[in-house]
Structure 1
Amino acid sequence: MSTPISITRYQGLEAIELRAPDGARATLLLHGAHLVSWVPAGADEQLYLSPKSAFATGQAIRGGVPVIFPQFATRGPLQRHGFARGKPWQLVSAESGKDDALAVLRLNDDGATRMVWPHAFEAEISIRIAGRALEIELACENQGDTPLSFSAALHTYLRLTQIMSASVQGLSGLAYWDSTIERAATQHEDLLRLDGETDRIYQDVKHGLTLRDGDRRLAIRQQGFADAVVWNPGQAKGDALPDMPEGGWKQMLCVEAAQVLKPVELAPGESWAGMQTLELL
């Protein structure tokens, strides 16, 4: 039998504190449907959250899992990374079950979104935790009478012990766009090691990835999303970010499930969904 979970507050913002019977827990803000914490059963925090993040209505939060929708970065006329991460989402359900905990949040178009993106839509974020696994699903339905197109990402910030000793496994053979030099290339090495600014969009990602961080291994899988973004600002850009402490870039790496290079196109009434799964091995 499921037990409903009530809304609480985190850093002054409305939040859902998910707790599974096995000890896994997560914190999800209604602001932006932003996951700010995930602690697997018997383990430590897996997400990076900057101690200098601003927790204020309408402002982006540095860390956790920002929801990027309906535009990735500056690839379009909207504000950077779209408007979803700065909007209040509505709670649909939140409950703790026999072996997991689940929350669903929803965002619909309103007057403000239609002024910049003239489409009727319904987006949902579903978060499920159980044991040492986290599932995040983003879904969108076109509720209007004209086609719509969007890009999206789950901008997951993973906590690192030290970036110089971290790597991502599973990208070998994949083509990618290197945003630091505006050039296409192909990954040949089995391990992507991070030794400076990294900003790559890998395409046609069909197999799972593994974050290697010292003795820690984190499996990263995705469904529905075609691309995977690997991002770290490096020292110069990282230390220049006003909402990240000096040296904070060394403790984080974004591995994002994304749909960027080929945006989703939905006819009226059509829907789409994409999921990222993280599992501590």
Structure 2
Amino acid sequence: MWDFSFKVEYTVRIDESSLYTIMTVENKDQKAFDFTALLHTYLHVDIETMRVNGFQQEKCTNSLTGEDFVETSSQKSIDANVDQIYKNVSKEQVVESSLGKIKVYRKGLPDVVFWNPWVEKAKAMSDFNDEGYKNMVCVEPGFVAERKVLQPREKWTGSQWLSVV
């Protein structure tokens, strides 16, 4: 399937108030290769009361329109289909709703995808509940705005830490 040799490890650790996920990619080949990585984190929220902090002044691309902009809002909420890539994000995000508060930390993952399919896309997805958009938001750490290049024998690690606060 791939024309290069590599190793991927994905580690999950859970304690009473946190989830840690760690992805390590090792280039075992004699040539460089590139890739993207995105930790698809679906958080259970009440979409009507959900707010996300931590994107203000961050560079963003709206994947639905192609528009590039700098986020001006201190709190993000959702009332429509949203698919945004925040690039080289400098701080952690806090996701709040009537169901609680979760802090999203990351290391080695410079970008964050903010996503919710909303009504029409939720209905169009065969593996997604038609009303599921009301109870979820994705705040997904990743390496997506640019591809990560691994030189021969180089290793990369990206991790996230979700903490109930």
> Normalising by structure 2, what TM-score?
0.97
1:252 and 2:125 correspond: no
Where structure 2 has 5 or more consecutive residues not aligned to the other structure, the ranges are none
SS at match of 2:48: helix
With over 3 angstroms needed to count, the CA separation of the structure-2 counterparts of 1:237 and 1:215, relative to structure 1, is closer
Contact 1:239–1:249 (CA under 8 A) maintained in structure 2: no
How far the C-alpha of 1:164 sits from its partner, in A, is: 2.0
Q: Deviations over 1:129-169 (max 9, x none)?
A: 12201110001000011110000010111111x21211111
Q: Deviations over 1:47-73 (max 9, x none)?
A: xxxxxxxxxxxxxxxxxxxxxxxxxxx
Greater strand content: 2
Where structure 1 has 5 or more consecutive residues not aligned to the other structure, the ranges are 1-112
Q: Tell me the residue number matched to 1:122.
A: 7
SS at match of 1:249: helix
CA distance in 2, matches of 1:215, 1:197: 21
CA distance in 1, matches of 2:99, 2:120: 28
SS at match of 1:235: helix
CA distance in 2, matches of 1:206, 1:235: 31
Say which of 96, 99, 115 aligns to 1:212.
96
Q: Tell me the residue number matched to 1:228.
A: 112
Q: Tell me the residue number matched to 1:135.
A: 20
CA distance in 2, matches of 1:209, 1:229: 11
CA distance in 2, matches of 1:192, 1:239: 24
**AA matched with 2:39:** L
1:243 and 2:116 correspond: no
SS at match of 2:80: coil
**AA matched with 1:222:** R
Q: Tell me the residue number matched to 2:39.
A: 154
CA distance in 2, matches of 1:169, 1:141: 33
Q: How many pairs does the alignment contain?
A: 165
1:195 and 2:79 correspond: yes
How far the C-alpha of 1:171 sits from its partner, in A, is: 0.6
Contact 1:169–1:211 (CA under 8 A) maintained in structure 2: yes
> Normalising by structure 1, what TM-score?
0.57
Q: Tell me the residue number matched to 1:56.
A: none
Q: Percent identity?
A: 28
**AA matched with 2:7:** E
CA distance in 1, matches of 2:66, 2:127: 26
SS at match of 1:250: helix
Relative CO higher for 1 or 2, CA cutoff 8 Å, sep ≥ 6?
A: 2
SS at match of 2:109: coil
How far the C-alpha of 1:249 sits from its partner, in A, is: 1.1
Contact 1:142–1:268 (CA under 8 A) maintained in structure 2: yes
CA distance in 2, matches of 1:200, 1:126: 27
CA distance in 2, matches of 1:245, 1:143: 40
How far the C-alpha of 1:206 sits from its partner, in A, is: 2.2
Q: Deviations over 1:104-140 (max 9, x none)?
A: xxxxxxxxx22xxx11100000111122011100010
